[in-house]
Chains A and B, each alone.
Chain A
Amino acid sequence: MSLRTSISPPAVAQPPIQDAPSRHHMWQRISPYIYIGPAVVYLIIFMIVPVVQGIQLSFTKTPLVKPDGGTGVGLENYSRLLSSPQFYNSLGATILYTAATVIFAVAIGAGSALLLNQAFKGRTIVRAIITFPWAVPTVATALIFSWIFNRSDGVLNEVVGVLGVGQQGWLVDPKFGMAAVVLTSVWKVMPLVMLVVLASLQSIPSELYEATRMDGAGALETFKAVTWPHIAPTVRVVTLLMTIWSIRRFEIIYLLTGGGPVDTTNTLVVNVYRQAFSNQELGRAAAIGALGLVLSLLVTVVYFMMERRNAAKEA
């Protein structure tokens, strides 16, 4: 899937279809908006308006049960946040969680795709099993992993016990909490990376491989010369998507650890939920949300800048 071209303008300018002449000049001008209109209007109503409301809320002190009964406090929420160690803990947890999840998910996903790109007996079944985690609902995922990680009766401790390592509190010990959450997340999202990269791999024409093989290239050279340049754009885009989604992923973390142990997995989104529903402070929650949004935007901007540089290099 050419995700890259989905975001930047198409490489080849395509002239618009000429509608039948006569009074259609006006129609030609309007018709793009009619096609894209519904989607845009929809998102504005259901996403942008709430976000704008959220940003407005971030300048107030508003109780959860009276969302329109807030009092303005200016920048107080922000100044409190930016001077509270708890906020930076959330920021750090988010960055760590995102980096770890994305790196492992993309590495394992792309690696799986490479492995699955060659035919072998039973490939369809293997591919299906590797993709299963994607189809498992989040609630079920959290439940089974909680049980696997259970300190006294979980199977993970049973297995590592045999290997000589003691019983660990995977979801209790601050040393392991983040690792456990990352493992669960990677398990869940890796299949999507695999599918996308696999699709990209399968569009490489076989003639290219034959050509390089005839040139006497080994496996590594083939990879560098043929495979990687082809899948690189896809891998980059899926990495960006995974990053954005990881920054905002909520359910798995909340259901597994609730932000613990000792706030080690208290990412920005978990913190937003806590502030909103546990502390019932919508203003503070909105402020954290706004700062989280800034983080996502930063990531996107960096990505686009890198893409532009790559495009310039290739030109």
Chain B
Amino acid sequence: MIDRRTFLGAAAASMVLAGCGATPGNDPNRAASAGGTLKFGSWQWLEPGRGEAMWKAIQAYQKVNPSAVLAQSTTPFLSFADKLNTELGGKGGPDVFVVQDVNFYPLADAGILAPLSSVISSHKGTPFNHTNKSGLVNGVQYGITWERLNWNFFWNRKIMDKAGVTPPTNVTELISAASQIRSATGLDGFGVRHQMTEFDSWFMDFDVWTYGHGGSWSDGSRPTIDSAENIAGVKAFGEIYRSGAMPIGDDASTMRTKFREGRLGMMIDVSSTVAGILRSSKALTSADIGFAERIPLPKPSAHQEIVLAVNGYGKNKNLAVDFVGWVGSDEGQAALRAAMGPSTLATDVPLAPDYAAANPWAKAFIDLASESRSPLIRGYEAQTKAIMREVMTQVERYLVDGGDAAKALATAQTQVTQLLG
């Protein structure tokens, strides 16, 4: 029979111990060497071919830190951002995850990501390239580049030859090339996204046209939606839209599939699209892909970046940060390079020679990273999507209903100014 004093003493002792939270399994600040499970959230695990390759590549971390276990957290692409935001809003979510830059910025800005300053300071080997600036928010590094995807212009050589078309170098030539393909072969000449149903991706695609004319959505202190350059970009897009050579109403996936089936002549898209098409195509080979060194527009174009970040609410932050450090190391980058295909990575690891030889188009895409611009709007990064929704609504209206591009953007400017309040 335990007497009362002993019992109370034991109870108090166990409460003190529990309060310390000293059990290694529960301390969120325990050292990376203590190991544990890391949930890595991404939609890319579902990508045919590439997803498994990526997963295999990062398993190598478990050799470096044997007490760590990596686990997949998978969400389909369309739901990924919404779900991640909901999870983080509920103070949950995967320990480490990749996320598109437009979704990354608000998270970093809200302070719910773990800082990666130690990753930068303790980094050895090939230096981090300039793409990692995207992960720098409010002066603190919250993410490193997982991959940067650049937009470029490419075509189906066979269709071009059949229609007797030479690769266009500016918008006017592009439109006539597309029309010629249409009249000579009956196939669609050119395809890019053009619908608000795909808003989440369209606004980034569309930057290609406005950036390509030298436009910006802001000058850092106020929105410049209705600048002359932006109007030029919208007009150019409108001309192509109305040329009759684009498959209006098709979503991006349909157009890419058509390209793969040899039913679409030219596209402006990201490198992973080309890789994906080639991977699943029965008819097209790498030699059939004609490509330009740059998009047929006067100024440098856009990129889309996927950032690797650590969840600030995670239960194992140090391990997660250590993992991110490994991803940026030479070893991690080499493993990823083989798996990622033709994307720009956090360090300038060159393509494997045999891959580069087999895919001559890949280098052109990667090299564009030196000039390509971010979709985030300077000075209003966290509100990029909200601003772009107003802009693209007016653009869609202009495309579908006609009218004046300048007026459409002027309306957008007013809406955005009201929105930013």
Q: B-contacting residues of A (Cβ < 8 Å)?
A: 63-67, 69, 150-153, 169, 171-174, 256-263, 274, 277-281
A66 and B112 form a contact (CB under 8 A): yes
Contacts of A169 in B (CB 8 A): 248-249
Q: Please report the C-alpha to C-alpha distance between residue A263 and residue B195 in the assembled complex, in whole angstroms.
A: 11
Give the distance to chain A from B98, nearest Cβ to Cβ, in Å. Answer: 16
Contacts of B199 in A (CB 8 A): 258, 278
Contacts of B386 in A (CB 8 A): 278-281
Majority-rule SS of B interface residues: helix
A172 and B195 form a contact (CB under 8 A): yes
A259 and B196 form a contact (CB under 8 A): yes
Q: What would 11 A/B residue contacts be, using CB atoms closer than 8 Å?
A: A64-B106, A66-B110, A67-B89, A151-B248, A152-B247, A257-B197, A258-B198, A277-B81, A278-B385, A279-B383, A281-B386
Q: Which B residues from 386 to 412 make CB contacts under 8 A with A?
A: 386, 389, 393, 396-397, 400-401
B195 and A65 form a contact (CB under 8 A): no
Given contacts A257-B197, A279-B386, 4 further A-B contacts (CB under 8 A): A64-B89, A258-B197, A260-B195, A262-B196
Question: Does any Cβ of A come within 8 Å of B88's Cβ?
Answer: yes
Q: Please report the C-alpha to C-alpha distance between residue A126 and residue B396 in the assembled complex, in whole angstroms.
A: 43
How many pairs of residues, A versus B, come closer than 8 Å at their CB atoms?
Answer: 83
A151-B250, A174-B400 known; A278+B200 contact, CB < 8 A: yes
Question: Does any Cβ of A come within 8 Å of B107's Cβ?
Answer: yes
Q: Please report the C-alpha to C-alpha distance between residue A280 and residue B88 in the assembled complex, in whole angstroms.
A: 13
A169-B249, A262-B401 known; A277+B396 contact, CB < 8 A: no
Contacts of A174 in B (CB 8 A): 400-401
Contacts of B197 in A (CB 8 A): 171, 256-258, 260
Give the distance to chain B from A262, nearest Cβ to Cβ, in Å. Answer: 5
Q: Please report the C-alpha to C-alpha distance between residue A171 and residue B248 in the assembled complex, in whole angstroms.
A: 11
A65 and B389 form a contact (CB under 8 A): no
A278 and B195 form a contact (CB under 8 A): no
Majority-rule SS of A interface residues: loop
Question: Does any Cβ of A come within 8 Å of B85's Cβ?
Answer: yes
Q: A-contacting residues of B (Cβ < 8 Å)?
A: 81-82, 85-86, 88-90, 106-107, 110, 112, 188, 195-200, 247-250, 254, 383, 385-386, 389, 393, 396-397, 400-401
Contacts of A262 in B (CB 8 A): 196, 393, 396-397, 400-401
Give the distance to chain B from A151, nearest Cβ to Cβ, in Å. Answer: 3
Contacts of A67 in B (CB 8 A): 89-90
Give the distance to chain A from B19, nearest Cβ to Cβ, in Å. Answer: 24
Q: Please report the C-alpha to C-alpha distance between residue A265 and residue B139 in the assembled complex, in whole angstroms.
A: 42
Give the distance to chain B from A269, nearest Cβ to Cβ, in Å. Answer: 15
Q: Please report the C-alpha to C-alpha distance between residue A261 and residue B194 in the assembled complex, in whole angstroms.
A: 11
A65 and B107 form a contact (CB under 8 A): yes
A150 and B85 form a contact (CB under 8 A): no
Contacts of A150 in B (CB 8 A): 249-250, 254
B385 and A65 form a contact (CB under 8 A): no
Give the distance to chain A from B400, nearest Cβ to Cβ, in Å. Answer: 6
A261 and B195 form a contact (CB under 8 A): yes
Give the distance to chain B from A178, nearest Cβ to Cβ, in Å. Answer: 14
A65 and B106 form a contact (CB under 8 A): yes
Q: Please report the C-alpha to C-alpha distance between residue A173 and residue B401 in the assembled complex, in whole angstroms.
A: 9
Give the distance to chain B from A36, nearest Cβ to Cβ, in Å. Answer: 31
Contacts of B106 in A (CB 8 A): 63-65, 280
A258 and B196 form a contact (CB under 8 A): yes
Q: Please report the C-alpha to C-alpha distance between residue A256 and residue B197 in the assembled complex, in whole angstroms.
A: 8
A65 and B249 form a contact (CB under 8 A): no
A151 and B249 form a contact (CB under 8 A): yes
Shortest beta-carbon contacts, A-B, top 5: A151-B249, A279-B386, A260-B196, A258-B197, A172-B249
A65-B106, A150-B250 known; A172+B400 contact, CB < 8 A: yes
Chain B residue nearest to A261 (CB atoms) is B400
A274 and B389 form a contact (CB under 8 A): yes
Q: Please report the C-alpha to C-alpha distance between residue A67 and residue B385 in the assembled complex, in whole angstroms.
A: 19
Q: Please report the C-alpha to C-alpha distance between residue A174 and residue B81 in the assembled complex, in whole angstroms.
A: 28
Contacts of A278 in B (CB 8 A): 199-200, 385-386, 389
A173 and B85 form a contact (CB under 8 A): no
Q: Please report the C-alpha to C-alpha distance between residue A281 and residue B81 in the assembled complex, in whole angstroms.
A: 15
Residue from A65, A151, A172, A258 with most neighbouring chain B CB atoms (10 Å) = A65
Partner of A65, one of B85, B248, B383, B400: B85
Contacts of A256 in B (CB 8 A): 197
A69 and B248 form a contact (CB under 8 A): no
Partner of B88, one of A65, A151, A281: A65
Q: Please report the C-alpha to C-alpha distance between residue A50 and residue B381 in the assembled complex, in whole angstroms.
A: 30
Q: Please report the C-alpha to C-alpha distance between residue A181 and residue B89 in the assembled complex, in whole angstroms.
A: 32
Q: Please report the C-alpha to C-alpha distance between residue A65 and residue B106 in the assembled complex, in whole angstroms.
A: 8
Give the distance to chain A from B156, nearest Cβ to Cβ, in Å. Answer: 18
Contacts of B383 in A (CB 8 A): 279
Give the distance to chain A from B313, nearest Cβ to Cβ, in Å. Answer: 11
Chain A residue nearest to B84 (CB atoms) is A65
A261 and B85 form a contact (CB under 8 A): no
Contacts of B110 in A (CB 8 A): 63, 65-66, 69
Give the distance to chain A from B238, nearest Cβ to Cβ, in Å. Answer: 15
Give the distance to chain A from B413, nearest Cβ to Cβ, in Å. Answer: 16
Q: Please report the C-alpha to C-alpha distance between residue A45 and residue B17 in the assembled complex, in whole angstroms.
A: 34
Contacts of B396 in A (CB 8 A): 260-262
A173-B400, A277-B85 known; A263+B248 contact, CB < 8 A: no
A63-B110, A261-B396 known; A280+B196 contact, CB < 8 A: no
Give the distance to chain B from A301, nearest Cβ to Cβ, in Å. Answer: 33
Contacts of B86 in A (CB 8 A): 64
Contacts of A260 in B (CB 8 A): 195-197, 396
Partner of B82, one of A259, A263, A277, A279: A277
Contacts of A64 in B (CB 8 A): 85-86, 89, 106
Give the distance to chain B from A134, nearest Cβ to Cβ, in Å. Answer: 25
Contacts of A261 in B (CB 8 A): 195-196, 396, 400
Contacts of A172 in B (CB 8 A): 195, 248-249, 400
Q: Please report the C-alpha to C-alpha distance between residue A278 and residue B397 in the assembled complex, in whole angstroms.
A: 20
Residue from A63, A171, A256 with most neighbouring chain B CB atoms (10 Å) = A63
Q: Please report the C-alpha to C-alpha distance between residue A67 and residue B86 in the assembled complex, in whole angstroms.
A: 9
Contacts of A274 in B (CB 8 A): 389
